[in-house]
Amino acid sequence: MSSEIPDIVIGRLPIYLRELTLLAQEGQEVTSSHELGKRLGISSAQIRKDLSWFGPFGKQGTGYQINYLQEQLKKILQVDHEWPVAVVGAGDLGRALARYGGFAHRGFRIACIFDNDPGKIGSYVGNLQVLGVEKIKEEIAAHHIQIAMIAVPASHAQEVADTLVEAGVRAILNYAPIILSVPDGVRVQYIDPAAHLQHMTYYLR
């Protein structure tokens, strides 16, 4: 597998995997790049090109075996096993993330949640007890966590990111509206709902 695969290609693989899962739930066993393209709004040629980076998964005229392609994409994305995840921030967003049931069947389990508010520390989110941020390093080591989600105000996000990286976290999903500075080898993805809303309002003319 080439190390020069464009990141935009990697970013589309979870979308393909999600759609294949929906097709499988509908009882379908075979699909095609044309069908996937119509459902996703992506050209069939683009889908074939993306998948070709990783191997020949289908046959011309017969399409893709859905279960097989699902299994292969899970292996490529390394979600053929469960990843424990830490959440930092036990406000409304952090609590919602910790409670969200959609992570489990896609390869992720919320293992712990942290906050610096004495009023929240010790409370429960589902079956998880909110821990103080001073326990981040200890708990991340204990649970062998490499992935974390930051759901704190922008003013605290960099400090939290620094602590997570020092603890061994290598991938961060950041909900705080700020760009983080992290070392090479640490992956950050950003989710800023307000920025996405602003993107859309441009077109509401």
Domains contained in the chain, CATH given: 7-76 (1.10.10.10), 83-196 (3.40.50.720)
- For residues 25 and 109, give the distance between their C-alpha atoms in angstroms, rounded to a whole number: 22
Mean pLDDT of 27-34: 94
Phi first, then psi, for residue 160 (nearest 5°) are -65, -45
Q: Residue 50 has what pLDDT? A: 96
| CB-CB contact of 58 with 50 (8 Å) | no
Helix ranges (DSSP H) in 120-179 = 136-143, 154-167
Q: Residue 3 has what pLDDT? A: 62
Please give the mean pLDDT across all residues of the chain: 95
First to last CA, the chain: 45
Statement: residue 30 has pLDDT above 60: yes
Q: Model confidence at 58, in pLDDT bands (50, 70, 90)?
A: confident
Q: Model confidence at 64, in pLDDT bands (50, 70, 90)?
A: very high
Q: Residue 76 has what pLDDT? A: 96
DSSP H or E run through 187: strand 187-190
Mean pLDDT of 188-202: 95
Question: How many residues belong to the chain?
Answer: 205
Q: Model confidence at 167, in pLDDT bands (50, 70, 90)?
A: very high
Q: What are the structure tokens assigned to 192, written together? A: 């800023």
Statement: residue 198 has pLDDT above 80: yes
- For residues 102 and 5, give the distance between their C-alpha atoms in angstroms, rounded to a whole number: 28
Mean pLDDT of 29-52: 95
Q: What is the CA radius of gyration of the chain?
A: 19
Q: Residue 60 has what pLDDT? A: 67
| CB-CB contact of 74 with 48 (8 Å) | no
Whether pTM exceeds 0.85: yes
Statement: residue 168 has pLDDT above 90: yes
- For residues 59 and 31, give the distance between their C-alpha atoms in angstroms, rounded to a whole number: 11
Residue with tokens 């490499």, as numbered in its chain:
146
Q: Residue 56 has what pLDDT? A: 86
Statement: residue 136 has pLDDT above 90: yes
Q: Residue 62 has what pLDDT? A: 76
